[in-house]
A and B are shown apart, each in its own frame.
Chain A
Amino acid sequence: MSILGNRVQRREDPKFLTTGGVYGDDLKIEGALWATFVRSTMAHARLTSLDVTEARNRPGVVAIYTGEDVDLPPVPAGLPGVPDVMARPVLAKGVVRFVGEAVAVVLTEERYQGEDAAESVFVDYEPLPAVVDPVSALTGDVLLFPEHGSNVAVPMNEPQAEDFFDGCEVVVRHRLINQRVAPCPLEVRSGAAMWEGDRVIQYASNQAPHGAKAAIAGLYGLEADRVRVIAPDVGGGFGAKIGLYVEDLILPWLAKAAGRPVHWTETRSESMLALGHGRAQVQDVAIGGSRDGKVEAYRLEVVQDAGAYPSLGSFLPALTRLMTSGTYDIPKVEFSAASMVTNTTPTVAYRGAGRPEATAAIERAMDLFAAEIGMDPAEVRKRNVVANDKFPFTTPTGTVYDIGDYGGAIDLALQASDYQALRAEQATRRSSGDTTQIGIGVSSYVEITNGAGPPGEYAKVEILPGGKARVYTGTSPHGQGHETAWTMLASEQLGIPMEDIEFVANDTDLVPEGGGTMGSRSLQSGGLAVHEASIALVDKAAKLAAELLEANADDVVLDKVGGRFHVAGTPAVGRSWAELAEAAGDDGDALVVAHSSSPAGPTFPFGAHVAVVEVDTDTGRVKLTRLVAVDDAGTIVNPLLAEGQRHGGLAQGAAQALMEEVRYDDDGNPVTSNLADYAMISATELPSFELVAMATPTPINALGAKGIGESGTIGSTPAVQSAVVDALAHLGVRHIDMPATPERVWRAVAAAQSTAAE
C-alpha cells in the first residue's frame, strides 16, 4: 500500500509546537555582539548630521557605524531594467527615502543596551517633500532619485490599440486598488554573522539560502566557497524572506569591523517598517463584450508601487502580466505597467506575488461586466472559461497553461455551496428589507507555480550504515512540511520507514545547491527531485544486490514492505538495505544519488471559490460566514499538508479583502506599524473553511503535482470582495475597494442611498 496520498502527520510539528525549534533569535553564539539599527523617522529628507557622541557613552556600546563608515557598495535590485542609481545603500547616505530606513547601527554587549543607545543617536533631517502613492509618483513632481530624471523603476509598455474595443456592445472601465499589505510572518527577521578565518558563516531567517550565499559572495567579492549560509528554523516568510535585506547583508561587515560575531533580531515594530510589503498595485481595467455574455476584449494597466528602493516588488507586474486573462478565453488582451518608486517601504513578493493581483483584476472586471449586462456572475464566468479541449492553451500574453477544467471547478464550487439556495435566500432577505443582507461572491482562478527562475531543484538521497537513509534538498522549508512530504516520497520508493529517513536542508555547506522555497515550487521541483533520486537509488541498489545474489539485475526486485531486494519469485533469499550499505564501496558504487530534477516547465493550479458574507447595512460591518474552496493542485502527496496550505492562504486572502492594509499619511508616516493598528486577521474573524477536493494531474512532472502554497490567497480575495459588493448590489453598489472596512462599506451604502434618493 502506498504511503502517498495519506494524511501523514507533520513530523516536524512536535518540535515547533514545544520548545525544540531553534529560530534565529534562539541561537547561542559565543562572544556575539548585538546589532541595533537606528532608523529614519522621516519619509524623505536630507541627512544633515548624525551625532553619535552621547550614544557612544551609553553602557555596553562597543561601536556605532553610519553610512559614511561602511565601505560596502549599494545593493542593486538584481532585476532586469532597474536603473543602477536606484541601488539601495546598506546604510542611508546623504538622503533617507522611507520611514524605517537604516541610518546607523549600534553594536552592544547586550541586546537591551542597543535600544537605549540607538535612542540617543541624534539625527538631523532636512525634510524633503514626499511622494507616497505610485500614481502621484508618475508626475515626477517629487523625485526620489533626481539623477534618474523620473520615478519609473521598470517601464513595461505594450502598444495600445486604438480600436481595441471596436465591436463590443458593452465596455466597462474601473480603477481598482490592490492595496499594500504586510506579510507579518510570526517570526520577524533575525540573523547572525561570524568569520572563521577567511570564511563567513551567516545565519538568516530566509527562504533561499543559496541565493543568500550568492548575494553575500557578490557584495563582499568573495569566492562562493568562502560563504556558508544557514537558515535555522524559520517562522514563516510568505515571500518576504526570499532575498536578504541590508540588515542581513551588513552583518559580515560588522563582524569583521568588530572582530566578533554579530547577532541581530528586529522588533515587530521594526519588522512592520523594514520587512518588505506586498501587492500595492493601482489597476485600471477595461472589459468589453457582447450582451449575451461573451467577453471579447480586456485591458489591464498597472501602476506598481515598488517602494523607496526597487526590489522584487518592481518585478511583480511581470508576473501579473503572465496571468492577465485568468481562466478565460478572451480573444484580445492588453497589458501595460510601470513600477514606480515612492517614499515607502520597498515592496517584495508576498503569497502569490503578482498573480493574486491579476486574478483580483480580471475577476472584478468580470463582475462589473456581469452587472452591466445583468447576467449572473457565475454564468458569465462559465461562458468565458477556456474549454477543456484547448489545453495546452496559449493565452494572448503568451503563457502556456498545462491542463485545466475551469468550468468543472466552478460547477463544483456552486454545487458545494448550494448556490441556487443562497441566491433564493438572498432574494428573500432583499425583499424583507432586513438590515443584515447577504452577499455571494464567486471567483474562478488559475495561477502559475514554479514560474520564476529555473524549474529544477537539487536532491540527494543516501543510505546510511545500518540501512537508514538521509534526504538532502535544495528547497528551504519554513513551515510548509517538506520534512514530512520529502521523507514520504523517499520512503515510498525505498521501502524504508519514514522514521528511519533523516532530512537535511537549509545549510549551504551540507546541500551544495538549491533554489529555495517560493512561488509554490517546492513539491514539483524539490519533491520531484527526491522522488527521482530515490528511484535511481533503488536501481543502483538493485544492481549491487544482483551482484551479491549472483543474479541478473533485471530480475531483482525491491520488497518495499520489508525493505529487502530479492530475485522475483524467491523472496527467501535477499539483501536488506543494511546489508547492501555494508557491501557498497565508498566511491562510485556508494549507495547515494545526487540528482537535479528538470520538470518540463511551470504548472497552473486552478480552482473556484464561493464566499458568503453578511453585511450590516446600518453599520457597514461585514461578517464572512462561508468560504467554499475548490483548489486543484493535481496529485496530492499529503492532503493534511495541502489543506494546511489552503487554510493559511484562504485566511490571508480573506484578510486582504476585509481587513489588512498598510497605510501612510500624506507625509509618508506609517500609521499601521504595529499589530494593534494593522488588522492582521485571526481565527475568530473566519468561518470554518469548506474545502472541496479536485485533482487534475499535470503532465508537466512525474508526480502530477502542481503548487498549492498560494492558491488560497489567489482565489479567496476576489470571492470575498465580490461577496461584499454583491450584498449591496440591489442598492446599486458596483464596487468597493479593499479592504472592505466598516466605514468604507457604510459609505458605499450611504452613497447608493443618496443616489437613489435623487
Chain B
Amino acid sequence: MIPAAFEYQRPSSLDEAVRLLADSGDDAKLLAGGHSLLPLMKLRLAAPSMLIDIGRLRDLSYISDAGDTVTIGALTRHHEVETSALLKAQVPLLAHATSQVGDPQVRHRGTIGGSIAHGDPASDLPAVCLALRATFTVVGPNGSRQIPADDFFRGFLETALSADEILTEISVPKVPDAGWSFQKFNRRAQDWAIVGVAAVHNGSTGVGLVNMASVPVRAAAVEDAIAAGSSAAEAATHASDGLDPPADLNASQEYRRHLAEVLVRRALQEAGAP
C-alpha cells in the first residue's frame, strides 16, 4: 500500500517537463492524474525512480474548437470532458464514454492523456479514439509529431510514445450528426469493462473494442462488413475476427467473443447502422 521510494519533480512548463524527462533516464515516469500509475506503485507492480508530475500544467488542460476537429489538452480531466458542451454537441460519443469511466473521484483526477498514454486495453477512451479516428500530438526533445490512433497502440501497455516523449493533445473529428453508441459491459458501475464497444456511424463506420485483445483495437472486420453492405447483425458476427481476447476472473475467451458479438450488434443498431 506504500510505494517504494522515488524522487519527485514538478515542472512548471511543458519545456521543462520535456527536459526533465530527457535527463532522468528510463526509470522516470510522468505523473498525470495518477489513477493508473499510483495503484500500480502502491501494489509495487511499478517502482519508478522518479516521478515528473505534469498534473498541474494548466496550459495542457483545454477543450478547443479547431474547425473540423475538437482539440483536447492531454491534462484535461475526465470530468471536464464529460461535461463539455462543445464535446456533447460535436463528439457526443467521447463525452458520454468518459462519463462511464470509474466513479466521480476517478473522473476528477484522471486525465484523457493519461488514459491514452497508459494504453490499457481495458480502458474506455482508447477504443473511443480508435472508433473516432483521433490523432495524438506528442512532444519530445526533437520537437513534436502527430500519430494517428491506429498507429499508437503497440502492445500490452505499450504505445508509440518513446520514453522521452509527452502526449500533449488529442484531436477528434467533429461528428455532430453521426449516430453513435457506447456499450460498456461491467459488473459494477465503477468497474472497468469486461467488454466494451464504441461505435460511430456516419456514412462510414468506426468501431473500437475494449478488453478484446492485449491492446486497444478496432473491429476492422466489422467496419469492412458494414462498408460491404452487411446488416448490423451480420457484421457483428465478425466482432472478434482475428482477435485473441484475454481470459480472466470475469470472463473466459469464449464468453468475451460472445459478448463482443452481442454488444457490437447492439452498438451498430443504436448508432443507426442498417
Chain A residues with CB under 8 A of B250: 741-743
Would you list which residues of chain B between 1 and 54 have a CB under 8 Å from chain A? Answer: 1-2, 4-5, 43-44
For the complex, is A659 an interface residue (Cβ under 8 Å from B)? yes
For the complex, is B204 an interface residue (Cβ under 8 Å from A)? no
Would you list which residues of chain A between 264 and 295 have a CB under 8 Å from chain B? Answer: 267-269
User: CB-CB contacts of B236-263 with A at 8 A, as 1s and 0s?
Assistant: 0000000000000111100100110011
Chain A residues with CB under 8 A of B259: 619
Contact of B187 among A116, A269, A742 (CB under 8 A): A742
Chain B residues with CB under 8 A of A684: 188-190
For the complex, is A681 an interface residue (Cβ under 8 Å from B)? yes
Chain B residues with CB under 8 A of A267: 1
Kindly state the separation between the CA atoms of A677 and B258 in the bound complex, as whole angstroms.
22
B262 and A619 contacting across the interface, CB-CB below 8 Å:
yes
Across the interface, name the chain B residue whose C-beta is closest to A659.
Answer: B187
Would you list which residues of chain A between 186 and 207 have a CB under 8 Å from chain B? Answer: none
A679 and B187 contacting across the interface, CB-CB below 8 Å:
yes
Chain A residues with CB under 8 A of B1: 115, 267-269
For the complex, is B210 an interface residue (Cβ under 8 Å from A)? no
For the complex, is A671 an interface residue (Cβ under 8 Å from B)? yes
Kindly state the separation between the CA atoms of A672 and B251 in the bound complex, as whole angstroms.
14
Contact of A115 among B2, B185, B251, B258 (CB under 8 A): B2
B262 and A112 contacting across the interface, CB-CB below 8 Å:
no
Chain A residues with CB under 8 A of B74: none
Chain B residues with CB under 8 A of A659: 187-188
Would you list which residues of chain B between 159 and 190 have a CB under 8 Å from chain A? Answer: 185, 187-190
For the complex, is B194 an interface residue (Cβ under 8 Å from A)? yes
A682 and B249 contacting across the interface, CB-CB below 8 Å:
no
Kindly state the separation between the CA atoms of A268 and B185 in the bound complex, as whole angstroms.
26
For the complex, is A93 an interface residue (Cβ under 8 Å from B)? no
Would you list which residues of chain A between 107 and 154 have a CB under 8 Å from chain B? Answer: 111-112, 115-116, 119
Kindly state the separation between the CA atoms of A239 and B249 in the bound complex, as whole angstroms.
27
B194 and A682 contacting across the interface, CB-CB below 8 Å:
no
A743 and B187 contacting across the interface, CB-CB below 8 Å:
no
Chain B residues with CB under 8 A of A672: 249
A619 and B187 contacting across the interface, CB-CB below 8 Å:
no
Would you list which residues of chain A between 677 and 718 have a CB under 8 Å from chain B? Answer: 677, 679, 681-682, 684-685
Quote the shortest CB–CB distance from A189 to chain B (angstroms): 13
Would you list which residues of chain B between 179 and 216 have a CB under 8 Å from chain A? Answer: 185, 187-192, 194
Contact of A119 among B44, B251, B258 (CB under 8 A): B44
Across the interface, name the chain B residue whose C-beta is closest to A36.
Answer: B2
Number of residues of chain A lying within 8 A (CB) of chain B:
28
Quote the shortest CB–CB distance from A461 to chain B (angstroms): 43
Number of residues of chain B lying within 8 A (CB) of chain A:
23
Quote the shortest CB–CB distance from A663 to chain B (angstroms): 7
Across the interface, name the chain A residue whose C-beta is closest to B190.
Answer: A682
For the complex, is A164 an interface residue (Cβ under 8 Å from B)? no
Contact of A671 among B44, B190, B249, B263 (CB under 8 A): B249
A619 and B185 contacting across the interface, CB-CB below 8 Å:
yes
Chain A residues with CB under 8 A of B4: 116, 119
B262 and A685 contacting across the interface, CB-CB below 8 Å:
no
For the complex, is A68 an interface residue (Cβ under 8 Å from B)? no
Contacts A685-B188, A742-B194, A743-B252 known; A112 to B2 CB distance under 8 Å?
yes
Kindly state the separation between the CA atoms of A684 and B188 in the bound complex, as whole angstroms.
7
Quote the shortest CB–CB distance from B74 to chain A (angstroms): 25
B249 and A746 contacting across the interface, CB-CB below 8 Å:
no
Kindly state the separation between the CA atoms of A396 and B250 in the bound complex, as whole angstroms.
42
Quote the shortest CB–CB distance from B190 to chain A (angstroms): 7
Across the interface, name the chain B residue whose C-beta is closest to A672.
Answer: B249
Chain A residues with CB under 8 A of B190: 682, 684
Chain A residues with CB under 8 A of B194: 742
Chain B residues with CB under 8 A of A676: 191-192
Quote the shortest CB–CB distance from B164 to chain A (angstroms): 29
Contacts A112-B2, A115-B1, A269-B43 known; A685 to B249 CB distance under 8 Å?
no
User: CB-CB contacts of A98-114 with B at 8 A, as 1s and 0s?
Assistant: 00000000000001100
Chain B residues with CB under 8 A of A383: none
For the complex, is A46 an interface residue (Cβ under 8 Å from B)? no
For the complex, is A560 an interface residue (Cβ under 8 Å from B)? no
B188 and A681 contacting across the interface, CB-CB below 8 Å:
yes
Contact of A677 among B44, B249, B255, B262 (CB under 8 A): B249
Chain B residues with CB under 8 A of A116: 4-5
A111 and B2 contacting across the interface, CB-CB below 8 Å:
yes
Across the interface, name the chain B residue whose C-beta is closest to A268.
Answer: B1
Contacts A115-B2, A269-B43 known; A621 to B185 CB distance under 8 Å?
yes
Would you list which residues of chain B between 50 and 71 have a CB under 8 Å from chain A? Answer: none
Quote the shortest CB–CB distance from B45 to chain A (angstroms): 11
Across the interface, name the chain B residue whose C-beta is closest to A746.
Answer: B255
Quote the shortest CB–CB distance from A707 to chain B (angstroms): 30
Chain A residues with CB under 8 A of B263: 619
Quote the shortest CB–CB distance from B135 to chain A (angstroms): 32
Would you list which residues of chain B between 139 and 153 have a CB under 8 Å from chain A? Answer: none
Quote the shortest CB–CB distance from B33 to chain A (angstroms): 17
Chain A residues with CB under 8 A of B188: 659, 679, 681-682, 684-685
Chain A residues with CB under 8 A of B249: 663, 671-672, 677
Kindly state the separation between the CA atoms of A116 and B44 in the bound complex, as whole angstroms.
10
Quote the shortest CB–CB distance from B234 to chain A (angstroms): 16
Kindly state the separation between the CA atoms of A111 and B2 in the bound complex, as whole angstroms.
9
For the complex, is A618 an interface residue (Cβ under 8 Å from B)? yes
Chain B residues with CB under 8 A of A621: 185
Quote the shortest CB–CB distance from B210 to chain A (angstroms): 15
Give 12 A-B contacts (CB < 8 Å), ordered by A residue.
Answer: A112-B2, A119-B44, A268-B1, A618-B262, A663-B249, A679-B188, A682-B190, A685-B189, A741-B250, A742-B194, A742-B255, A743-B251
Q: Which 6 A-B pairs have the closest CB atoms?
A: A684-B189, A267-B1, A743-B255, A112-B2, A115-B2, A618-B262
Given contacts A115-B2, A742-B187, 6 further A-B contacts (CB under 8 A): A116-B4, A741-B250, A743-B252, A743-B255, A746-B255, A746-B258
Binding site for B on A (CB under 8 A): 111-112, 115-116, 119, 267-269, 618-619, 621, 659, 663, 671-672, 674, 676-677, 679, 681-682, 684-685, 741-743, 746-747
